């Protein structure tokens, strides 16, 4: 007899797929669903989830493989040259892998596969080259990113956390399955001896339903000692450090990263400013904390005061991440209640443009690269408005549309759009494949991609071509998932050149293309140009990330 939990979960997953991703097969969407649940605490974007899906032939029992360093997803070849000096000693490198089966039972075989795969991928003493014939390219690339991350951050003495999830619609795994899960956990402990950071979890229908019900609260409460409510609805308040600590943590005592999505800085570790904040917290000088600290700026949709308690609708801390993180670490170390106060400014902007100006202004008081303020740029706002008229939801703010339940295939991130323009307009498909997120970090690349002089229509055609190619390559059935990822930017570039009848078409020429002008024969011709060159050069991600394939294609 089927359990009610399994029935409810299956119906919920079917309904979500119908609304969010009808183009996916049920098994494909279940992988996506499981990834979203097991990563929920890290607030993944659609790009983050997509980048870690490695299921398919030769996946070694791994459907998803995700790496985070200091809660930042590592979805491309890591390079910490610039950021390493800001990262704290002992930061955590998290690895989350999962196997998902759309069936109503737990079986031994998936765990047997993982028992064979885990030591081959995670034993840092074993050369990774030995597995080149055993596993698909996406899984090998993920394992290499993990090892490269560990190597590059080794001087910081990172703590490595590996969590494995086996998810099904089942319940009550039998004794043999539980034994296999225990064996896998012991193998992980042999490789990374920390029971607090290593686990193997069996997720059945009940557990997945519980995860699916967990959502970041849209309302948060902050208890204050003093507050001033202004005529425009803004609030200036003082709260004890301990109450502010409660505000920035969830029910499990974890840091609420989602509160800080609008904050353009990431936590910068042991900088001189953060060290001073830490010293002030620990040494407790006679001056109150808020006398010595600039405080916190929060934007919210609405503020509702009840006595000295504030209820905030959809709050975002737009300035004060460094202070917040130091307070979190201070109390997490077991400090008793601290009655010192922190200054909190809460504003309720009525328009998105006003919100962006607040973010930019409150983050411009110390030196920051211009790249850090991307989402507030006027061109980003214009692109969002324009693409919305074409049926696209442009997430210049992470997860803005994902959290509204918009269809996954209609959501476009800044990184994805940047890749599309880099490939189609700038004709650099190798750079687009190699550096999906770097376009947000390198000012020169950013200015070339998001050029105010470009006709706004180039952004539409660029993303439409890349999505069209991705859909066509997947539907062909003859390309592996890694081939789709490796080839799509080259094929999109070729389509633009063929459609414009120019080897190097101008942005103006590309902007005049229309989706209905791109016939099937043209797409087939572009694939026919790219595929033999790609295979001749080696047919892998190294080829796709290099420059030779692009040169040969243009010739």
For residue 483, the enclosing domain spans 375-554
- Predicted confidence at residue 352, as pLDDT, reads 67
**Angstrom distances, CA of residue 190 to CA of 140, 198, 508:** 22, 10, 59
- Predicted confidence at residue 365, as pLDDT, reads 45
Q: Give the C-alpha separation, 432 to 492, whole Å.
A: 11
Tell whether 299 is covered by a domain: yes
- Predicted confidence at residue 76, as pLDDT, reads 87
Domain boundary among 193, 213, 233: 213
Domain match, 199 and 231 both: no
Domain match, 385 and 318 both: no
Domain match, 170 and 32 both: yes
Total count of domains within the chain: 3
Q: Are 335 and 242 in contact (CB under 8 A)?
A: no
Domain match, 55 and 192 both: yes
Judged by average pLDDT, the poorest of 349-358, 380-389, 407-416, 535-544 is: 349-358
Mean pLDDT of the chain: 88
Tell whether 370 is covered by a domain: no
3-class secondary-structure state, position 162:
strand
- Predicted confidence at residue 435, as pLDDT, reads 82
Domain match, 352 and 430 both: no
Judged by average pLDDT, the poorest of 25-29, 51-55, 218-222, 486-490 is: 218-222
Domain match, 48 and 193 both: yes
Pairing between β-strand 316-319 and β-strand 393-395 as defined by DSSP bridges: unpaired
Residue spans of alpha helices (H) in 333-395:
352-362, 378-388
Domain boundary among 198, 213, 228: 213
Closest CA to 34 of 7, 52, 47, 19: 52
- Predicted confidence at residue 552, as pLDDT, reads 94
Domain match, 349 and 287 both: yes
- Structure confidence at residue 363 as a pLDDT band (50, 70, 90): low
Domain match, 154 and 235 both: no
pLDDT of 100 > 80? The answer is: yes
Tell whether 353 is covered by a domain: yes
Q: Are 76 and 435 in contact (CB under 8 A)?
A: yes
Domain boundary among 184, 213, 242: 213
Q: Are 170 and 180 in contact (CB under 8 A)?
A: no
Q: Are 327 and 245 in contact (CB under 8 A)?
A: yes
Judged by average pLDDT, the poorest of 85-89, 337-341, 417-421, 537-541 is: 85-89
How many Cα atoms sit within 13 Å of 66 on the Cβ side? 33
Kindly give, in sequence order, each residue whose CB lies less than 8 Å from that of residue 20, ignoring residues fewer than 6 positions away: 29, 405, 406, 407, 408
Q: Tell me the pTM.
A: 0.78
Domain match, 180 and 245 both: no
- Predicted confidence at residue 219, as pLDDT, reads 78
Q: Give the C-alpha separation, 318 to 500, whole Å.
A: 44
The rounded percent of the chain whose pLDDT value lies above 70 is: 91
pLDDT of 265 > 70? The answer is: no
Tell whether 366 is covered by a domain: no
- Structure confidence at residue 373 as a pLDDT band (50, 70, 90): low
Domain match, 492 and 350 both: no
Domain match, 172 and 257 both: no
Kindly give, in sequence order, each residue whose CB lies less than 8 Å from that of residue 308, ignoring residues fewer than 6 positions away: 223, 224, 225, 226, 227
Tell whether 486 is covered by a domain: yes
Which is more confidently placed, 356 or 263?
356
- Predicted confidence at residue 387, as pLDDT, reads 95
For residue range 272-325, list pLDDT tens digits in order: 667 888 889 998 999 999 999 989 999 988 888 888 999 998 888 888 888 998
For residue range 233-260, list pLDDT tens digits in order: 899 999 999 999 999 998 778 888 778 7
pLDDT of 364 > 80? The answer is: no
Segment 457-474 mean pLDDT: 96
Tell whether 368 is covered by a domain: no
Which is more confidently placed, 304 or 526?
526
Tell whether 180 is covered by a domain: yes
DSSP state of 267: P
> Which of 322-336, 424-438, 453-467 ranks highest by mean pLDDT?
453-467
The rounded percent of the chain whose pLDDT value lies above 90 is: 62
pLDDT of 177 > 70? The answer is: yes
- Predicted confidence at residue 133, as pLDDT, reads 85
Domain match, 243 and 191 both: no
């Amino acid at each position: 007899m089927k359990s009610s939990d399994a029935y409810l979960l299956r119906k919920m997953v079917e309904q979500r797929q119908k609304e969010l991703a009808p183009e996916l097969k049920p098994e494909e969407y279940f992988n996506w669903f499981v990834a979203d649940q097991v990563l929920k605490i890290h607030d993944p974007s659609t790009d983050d989830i997509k980048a870690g899906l490695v299921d398919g032939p030769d996946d070694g029992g791994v459907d998803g493989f995700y790496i985070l360093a200091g809660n930042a997803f590592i979805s491309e070849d890591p390079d910490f040259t610039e950021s390493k000096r800001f990262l704290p000693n002992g930061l955590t490198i998290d690895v989350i892998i999962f196997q998902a089966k759309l069936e109503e039972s737990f079986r031994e075989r998936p765990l047997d596969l993982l028992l064979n795969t885990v030591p081959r991928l995670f034993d840092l003493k074993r050369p990774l080259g030995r597995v080149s014939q055993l596993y698909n390219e996406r899984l090998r690339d993920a394992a290499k990113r993990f090892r490269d991350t560990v190597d590059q951050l080794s001087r910081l003495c990172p703590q490595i956390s590996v969590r494995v999830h086996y998810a099904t619609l089942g319940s009550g795994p039998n004794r043999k399955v539980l034994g296999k899960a225990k064996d896998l956990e012991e193998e992980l402990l042999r490789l990374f001896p920390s029971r607090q950071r290593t686990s193997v979890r069996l997720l059945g229908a009940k557990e997945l339903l519980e995860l699916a019900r967990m959502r970041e609260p849209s309302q948060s409460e902050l208890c204050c000692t003093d507050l001033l409510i202004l005529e425009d609805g803004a609030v200036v308040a003082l709260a004890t450090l301990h109450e502010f600590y409660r505000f920035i943590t969830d029910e499990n005592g974890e840091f609420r990263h989602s509160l800080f999505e609008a904050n353009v800085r990431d936590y910068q570790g042991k900088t001189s400013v953060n060290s001073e904040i830490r010293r002030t917290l620990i040494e407790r000088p006679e001056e109150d904390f808020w006398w010595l600290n600039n405080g916190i700026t929060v934007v919210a949709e609405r503020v509702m005061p009840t006595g000295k308690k504030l209820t905030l609708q959809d709050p975002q801390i737009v300035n004060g991440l460094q202070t917040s993180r130091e307070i979190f670490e201070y109390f997490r170390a077991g400090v008793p209640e601290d009655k010192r106060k922190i200054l909190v400014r809460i504003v309720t902007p009525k328009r998105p443009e006003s919100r962006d100006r607040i973010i930019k202004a409150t983050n411009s008081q110390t030196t920051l690269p211009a790249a850090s303020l991307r989402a507030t740029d006027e061109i980003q706002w214009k692109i969002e408005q324009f693409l919305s008229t074409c049926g696209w939801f442009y997430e210049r703010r992470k997860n803005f549309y994902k959290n509204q339940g918009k269809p996954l295939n209609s959501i476009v991130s800044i990184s994805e759009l940047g890749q599309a323009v880099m490939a189609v307009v700038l004709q650099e498909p190798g750079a687009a494949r190699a550096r999906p997120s770097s376009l947000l970090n390198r000012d020169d690349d950013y200015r070339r991609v998001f050029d105010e002089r470009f006709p706004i229509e180039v952004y539409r055609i660029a993303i439409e071509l890349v999505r069209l190619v991705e859909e066509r390559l997947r539907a062909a059935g003859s390309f592996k998932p890694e081939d789709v990822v490796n080839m799509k930017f080259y094929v999109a570039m070729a389509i633009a050149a063929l459609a414009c009848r120019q080897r190097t078409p101008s942005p103006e020429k590309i902007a005049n293309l229309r989706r209905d002008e791109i016939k099937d024969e043209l797409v087939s011709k572009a694939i026919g140009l790219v595929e033999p060159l790609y295979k001749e050069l080696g047919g892998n991600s190294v080829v796709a990330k290099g420059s030779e394939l692009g040169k040969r294609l243009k010739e």
